[in-house]
């Protein structure tokens, strides 16, 4: 099994994906263990002094004015975890919790938190044992970190609360730790606070959304090319020289992908045949501009994610010169903004795909295709309601595009008076990505059927390969009306599993 080694200088998106989705094992580097021990010495020295230090010998948030005596500090750290583990709603996905735990471990190992090496090792032990704390949907405002989600993870380290075992069964965390020979941690000064003060949940979901969108945007180029073929459109608008004079890199990449997919098509260039038209509709002609803008949005989001992956987010932090200083680095604004930006781009990509699907089904705009791509229009409804489903998904995408980060609800008696709502932005982006996949799948389903109905015209080798692979995967083609939901589910699985992209890239080579 793949092993990810956690050092002091952050981590990478590929490591996050390996741990969250691939079940990779986690090890602490020798450098990390040394940094943990050095930072802990600083915290221990400060704890021994009479002067109050936030997070070490004081209360938290609006209660930071109280100096805590040494005999109550262990209780203070336990209490912050217990009281902050206040999430509600359904449990979030296992991959999200694993990303959350791994990214918190990444910051702990930076040597800026003051957590003991044995606590960090226990965090790694839980990940390696496949023990996943139950984290709830609601409880984070995305400021002072993803407090409630991280607290539920810290609670499991203490042997409290509930967790999911490697078999998927939820049990008391104490039972799971004992079954795997893991000793619960006894938290000391600062450790409770350090375990729950980070942007790890929203960052983990950003990393995974970017990975999913990378596949989806390339798949959307494929379905746009298929729709262009089915509508007998022109590929002249995809010429590199046209995109060079408006040098947005995402736009050029999208146009190049569509051009590669359409290479050798016998369906393009017929826009001057029976019903001459000067140019294709925006949803066809401007596909690279819209998908390209989304790609460039992803590039910016990836830059933010990489910066955050290299960060140590905690408050207070232990600095190399021995100071322990309060700061505001836990604020989730940088991550929250790009999460919302990606949801906007996803909504627009879904919207333009739906417009192409609608055009394929309308006999007045499809340039010779049967109404709703039906076998016997009137007796058969064809794909009429598939477009309804797609439209409902797009409407939901537009609702999910409303920014969460534009909101702020003050908390902690106005001490935390401006929050990022980054966790909420991440949760709705996950739903948006899920629904966008379905939208792209419906466009593929409709465009593939439409291409097959163009008798006497030969599609491009790449689109032919995609359609053939879909049929082999159980995505049915044209014919009389039948129970349609299973067909759409098969198309969704075909796109979601990356098989559409794989089939095309066997012909074109890797798309951008």
Residue pair 192/80 in contact (Cβ under 8 Å)? The answer is yes
Could you give the CA distance from residue 486 to residue 492 in angstroms, rounded to a whole number?
Answer: 10
Structure tokens at 155: 């609670």
- Centre a 10 Å sphere on the Cβ of residue 507 and count the other Cβ atoms it contains: 17
Could you give the CA distance from residue 221 to residue 501 in angstroms, rounded to a whole number?
Answer: 10
Could you give the CA distance from residue 442 to residue 223 in angstroms, rounded to a whole number?
Answer: 9
The candidate with the shortest Cα–Cα distance to 389, out of 447, 441, 344, is 441
The candidate with the shortest Cα–Cα distance to 305, out of 377, 231, 207, is 207
The candidate with the shortest Cα–Cα distance to 229, out of 69, 442, 26, 453, is 453
Q: Which residues are registered as beta bridge partners of 27?
A: 5
Question: CA end-to-end span of the chain, whole Å?
Answer: 29
Could you give the CA distance from residue 150 to residue 93 in angstroms, rounded to a whole number?
Answer: 14
Could you give the CA distance from residue 394 to residue 398 in angstroms, rounded to a whole number?
Answer: 6
Angle of helix 200-230 relative to helix 13-20, nearest 10 degrees, comes to 90
Clarify whether 54 is annotated catalytic.
yes
- Centre a 10 Å sphere on the Cβ of residue 168 and count the other Cβ atoms it contains: 9
Angle of helix 485-496 relative to helix 422-453, nearest 10 degrees, comes to 110
475 burial (CB, 10 Å; 0-12 / 13-18 / 19+) is buried
Could you give the CA distance from residue 117 to residue 28 in angstroms, rounded to a whole number?
Answer: 9
DSSP 80-124: HHHHH---EEEEPPHHHHHHHHHHHHHHHTTTSS---HHHHHHHH
Could you give the CA distance from residue 451 to residue 449 in angstroms, rounded to a whole number?
Answer: 6
The candidate with the shortest Cα–Cα distance to 236, out of 274, 284, 276, is 284
| Phi-psi label, residue 92: left if phi above 0, alpha if psi -120 to 50, beta otherwise | beta
The candidate with the shortest Cα–Cα distance to 440, out of 470, 403, 462, is 470
Structure tokens at 324: 């322990």
Residue pair 202/426 in contact (Cβ under 8 Å)? The answer is yes
Catalytic residues: 54
């Amino acid at each position: 099994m793949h092993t990810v080694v956690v050092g002091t200088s952050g981590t990478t998106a590929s490591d996050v994906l390996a741990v969250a989705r691939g079940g990779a094992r986690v090890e602490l580097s020798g450098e990390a263990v040394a940094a943990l021990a050095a930072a802990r010495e600083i915290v221990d020295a400060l704890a021994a002094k009479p002067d109050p230090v936030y997070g070490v010998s004081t209360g938290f948030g609006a209660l930071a004015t109280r100096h805590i005596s040494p005999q109550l500090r262990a209780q203070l750290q336990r209490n912050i975890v217990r009281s902050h583990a206040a999430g509600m709603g359904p449990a979030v996905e296992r991959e999200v919790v694993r990303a959350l735990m791994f990214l918190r471990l990444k910051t702990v190992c930076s040597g800026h938190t003051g957590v003991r090496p044995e606590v960090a090792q226990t965090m790694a032990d839980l990940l390696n044992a496949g023990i996943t704390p139950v984290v709830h949907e609601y409880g984070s405002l995305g400021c002072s970190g993803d407090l409630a989600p991280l607290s539920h993870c810290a609670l499991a380290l203490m042997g409290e609360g509930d967790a999911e075992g490697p078999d998927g069964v939820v049990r008391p965390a104490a039972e799971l730790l004992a079954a795997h020979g893991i000793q619960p941690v006894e938290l000391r000064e600062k450790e409770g606070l350090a375990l729950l003060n980070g942007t790890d949940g929203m960052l983990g979901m950003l990393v995974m959304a970017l990975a999913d969108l990378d596949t989806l945007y390339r798949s959307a180029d494929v379905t746009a090319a298929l729709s262009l073929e089915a509508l007998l459109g022109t590929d002249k608008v995809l010429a590199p020289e046209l995109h060079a004079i408006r040098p947005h890199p995402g736009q050029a990449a999208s146009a190049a992908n569509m051009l590669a997919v359409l290479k050798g098509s016998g369906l393009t260039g017929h826009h001057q045949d029976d019903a001459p038209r000067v140019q294709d509709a925006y949803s066809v002609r401007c596909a690279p501009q819209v998908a390209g803008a989304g790609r460039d949005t992803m590039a910016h989001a990836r830059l933010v994610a990489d910066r955050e992956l290299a960060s140590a987010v905690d408050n207070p932090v232990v600095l190399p010169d021995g100071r322990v200083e309060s700061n505001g680095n836990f604020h989730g604004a940088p991550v929250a903004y790009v999460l919302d930006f990606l949801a906007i781009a996803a909504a627009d990509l879904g919207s333009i795909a739906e417009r192409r699907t609608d055009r394929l089904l309308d006999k007045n705009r499809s340039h010779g295709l049967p109404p709703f791509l039906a076998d016997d229009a009137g007796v058969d409804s064809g794909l009429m309601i598939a477009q309804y489903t797609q439209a409902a998904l797009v409407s939901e995408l537009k609702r999910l595009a409303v920014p969460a980060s534009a909101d702020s609800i003050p908390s902690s008696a106005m001490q935390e008076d401006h929050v990022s709502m980054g966790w909420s932005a991440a949760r709705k982006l996950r739903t948006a990505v899920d629904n966008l996949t379905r939208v792209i799948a419906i466009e593929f389903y409709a465009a593939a059927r439409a291409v097959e109905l163009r008798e006497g015209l030969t599609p491009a080798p790449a689109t032919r390969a995609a359609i053939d692979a879909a049929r082999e995967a159980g995505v049915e083609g044209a014919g009389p009306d039948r129970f349609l939901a299973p067909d759409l589910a098969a198309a969704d699985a075909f796109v979601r599993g990356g098989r559409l992209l794989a089939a095309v890239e066997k012909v074109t080579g890797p798309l951008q």
